[in-house]
């Protein structure tokens, strides 16, 4: 992985905040960065139809299932989760 200057800041922000959004253009390394910084966290992609359906149909259940932290990719597929 190419060293990213955001890595230390992402680690710092993830400590006090329950949610940290990493945004940017397509194919810029967002997923690679998140997976490298948080390798121990479950990885969920809302690009997968079954995962997206669960998040859309039962957002509280979806978030409760991953209460302790997770990397959620493709959040733009279910923007309601951010509210």
pLDDT along the chain (83 residues), means of 10: 84 89 88 90 94 95 89 92 84
Decide: pTM greater than 0.85. Answer: no
What is the reported pLDDT for 72? 92
Asked whether 74 and 46 are in contact (CB, 8 A), the reply is yes
pLDDT of residue 1: 67
Do residues 82 and 21 touch, judged by C-beta distance below 8 A?
yes
Element (H, E) at 31: helix 30-37
**pLDDT at residue 18, rounded to an integer:** 83
pLDDT of res. 68: 82
Q: Residue 72 belongs to what H/E stretch?
A: strand 71-73
């Amino acid at each position: 992985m190419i060293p990213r200057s955001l890595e230390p800041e992402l680690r710092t922000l993830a400590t006090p905040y329950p949610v940290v959004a990493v945004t940017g253009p397509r194919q810029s390394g967002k997923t690679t960065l998140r997976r490298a910084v948080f390798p121990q966290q479950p990885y969920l992609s809302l690009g997968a139809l079954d995962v997206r359906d669960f998040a859309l149909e039962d957002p509280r259940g979806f978030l409760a299932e991953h209460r302790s932290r997770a990397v959620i990719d493709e959040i733009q597929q279910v923007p309601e989760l951010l509210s």
